[in-house]
Structures are given as C-alpha cells and as structure tokens.
Amino acid sequence: MKLTSKMMLGTALAAGFSAAAGVAPLAAQDGANVFFMLPNSTTIRFERRDAPLFVAAMEERMPGASVTVQNGEGDPTRQQRLVEDALAQGADLIVYTSSDANLAAGALKAAEDAGVPILLYEHDAIGAKAEAHVLFNARAVGRAQGARAAELIEGMEGTVQIARVKGNQGEYGTTQYELGQNEYLDPLIEAGKAEIVCEDFTPNWDPVKAQAFAEDCLTRTGGSVDMFLGMNDGTTGGSVAALISQGYDKGEIVVTGGQDATIEALQFIAQGWQDNTVFKDLRVMAEAAADMSVAILNGDPLPEAWMNGEVNNEFMDVPAAFLPVNNVTVDNISDVVDAGIYTWEEVCKGAEDSSICAENL
C-alpha cells in the first residue's frame, strides 16, 4: 500500500504517520487513490485512532491502494477545498467525516459531479449524494448515556439540577444522542425528579468551549448543579476541567455522558472525576469502513454482513452500517483493557491508589 498523509496547519497523525503539509500525494499507479477526510482535531480519536486503524485495514484488503489523510480542522470551507483538491489529484473514493454536517453539501456535490463516490464515516453530511454511511448506532449511544444518567439521578436526593453539554448543533449524531437521552430524562423531568438548569451546544465538539459553558453555568447558578451530562469525552472532559479550575472535589458534582473511551476519559473514570464513557470499538469501525470501501471501489454490492439500516440526509436514504456500542463505568472499565485498547498502567495513571487500579496493577 502507498500511504500519503497531508496534514494541514501543523497537525500530525500518531502511530507513525508523517506530516507532509503542502506536498502532493504519491500517484497510485498500481491501485486506488483513497482520501480519508477527518473533521477536526478537537475530537482526538480521529487523528489518534481512526486514521491509522483505517489505513491498516485498507492495507490488508487492498495493498496496492494509496490512502491520503487530511483534516478539515473544523472548517467546512477548508474541508470542501480539500475535497476539490482530492478530486483534482484523481481520487477514486473519498471517505468523509464532515466538519459541519449542515455545510457539507457543496463538497459532496463536487464529488458527485466528478463521478467520485463518497463513503460517510461517523458524521452525517446533509443535502447531497453519498454511497453509504458507516457509524456507531447514535440513538443507542444516547440511550446508554440517558439510562446511566437516570440510574444516577434516581439514586440522588431531591430534584437533581442538570447542565446539558450537547454536541455540535445540527449533526445527525447530536440529534440522535439527545433523543436517546431524552427517552430517560423526560419522565424524570415530568415527575419533578430532575430539572435542566443550563444547556447549550458545543461548536465542533470543542472541549475548551465545553469547559467555558460549564464554568459559566456554575457561575450563573451559584454552583447549584448536581450533574453535567455531556455527549462525548470532549464535552465531559470540558466539564471536568471546569470543576477542577473552580476548586471542586472529585465526585462533588457528577459528570456523565461520555463517549469514545479516550484514555483521558478512562483516567478520569479511574480517578473518580467522570462517571462513564460509551466504548465504541474503532477497530470494528475500521474493518467495516475498509470492507465498504473495497466494495465501492470494485463496483460490488455493499457487504451484507455490515449493512443494517439507512440514514436520511435530507437528500436521500443513505445505506448504513450501524455498529454496536458498550457503556463503560468503573465497574466494567476492564472491557476496554480486555479489548487491547489500553493497558491498566495507562488507564490508572494518576489513579494508582484507587480500588480498581489497586486490584489490577
């Protein structure tokens, strides 16, 4: 496999990727030319894990292919330029994680006009054609987050004051996470057991903006917050950072609603700062995305083993592969270690004296 990585604005991939900003990718003389478009650097999983895993999975299936990884850095205009540049360089397939789902139609339309297929990866892209979509079951993620929040709320006294730290506004995932959470929150709110005291979206899933929201909420409510409910590990991490910056003790205010099982989130869970994360095995996603990519490139039907639904993107019903998820708390954090994602030494950094780490180190 020929691998080229063109990361802009100084970003670089982990796991042995080399940055080559401004350098044209090698021509794929003996195989397909695939471009993997990342959405941003604020959601750290994409550069740290998704990209290297997808490249490795493609190398197993289509070793003659060239994979070029690029990052939209949260800017849909920039990402469209990257797509147009990929088309000019002879892309055969674009695996696309939108920087902004609501502003992705131009990039998708450019690919359609050029006759180049688009495989949507995780994020949706509204208003134009795509061949398929591979994603973790977003509604199931929201339900897992909501069920865990409800379990915690029911164990707390009085009316629980909740601050909701939502994801990027308008994304399919954000909408589905909220709907899934609401299945469990709405009955508690109607019963007077829970109350939303602050809520807002987090542009580009930026943890810094999530932290600013959490700090503002604590200030506006005079600290009358019992729970921060996020939608991914970036937003929950922002809440944890806000609590630390304002001098709260771990566990004094519950932080839940994590997603992605980043090492930082797992460390927060082991330390007692964060309650949960939804584990999405990105190795499975890489396998699915690579199988779908190879089928599209070969002109074959989408692999039946993966295809199990569709996502309406306001232009078409995009055939979808929904992948399973697993909610992780301190009680089953071993699931992530057993999957070979991280070691106990990594998870327990800063929490060596906690009971879970004392048992496993």
Query: How large is the C-alpha radius of gyration of the chain?
Result: 21
- Using the CB atoms, write b or e for 101-119: b if 16+ within 10 Å: bbbbbbbbbbbeeeebbbb
Closest CA to 259 of 277, 235, 281, 239: 277
Same fold, 2-130+281-323 and 138-280+330-360: yes
Q: Is the pLDDT of residue 8 over 70?
A: no
Closest CA to 104 of 319, 314, 356: 314
For the chain, the domains span 2-130+281-323, 138-280+330-360
Q: Which helix (H) or strand (E) holds 153?
A: helix 138-154
* pLDDT tens track for 159-186: 999 999 999 998 889 999 999 999 999 9
pLDDT interval class at 339 (50, 70, 90): confident
pTM > 0.85: yes or no: no
d(CA 214, CA 174): 18
H helices of 163-281, in order, are 172-190, 207-220, 233-245, 263-271
Percent of the chain past pLDDT 70, that is, above it, reads 92
d(CA 81, CA 96): 13
Closest CA to 40 of 11, 16, 6: 11
Retrieve residue 149's tokens. Answer: 């929040």
* pLDDT tens track for 300-318: 999 999 999 999 999 999 9
CATH homologous superfamily for 138-280+330-360? Response regulator (3.40.50.2300)
pLDDT interval class at 87 (50, 70, 90): very high
Output the pLDDT for position 15: 32
d(CA 8, CA 90): 20
Retrieve residue 153's tokens. Answer: 């709320």
Mode of pairing for the β-strands spanning 2-5 and 66-71 = parallel
Q: 2-130+281-323 maps to which CATH number?
A: 3.40.50.2300
Query: Residue 297: CB partners within 8 Å, gap ≥ 6?
Result: 32, 34, 62, 65, 92, 93
Tell me phi and psi for residue 229, to 5 degrees. Answer: -115, 110
* pLDDT tens track for 240-278: 999 999 999 999 999 999 999 999 999 999 999 999 999
Retrieve residue 224's tokens. Answer: 């009358």
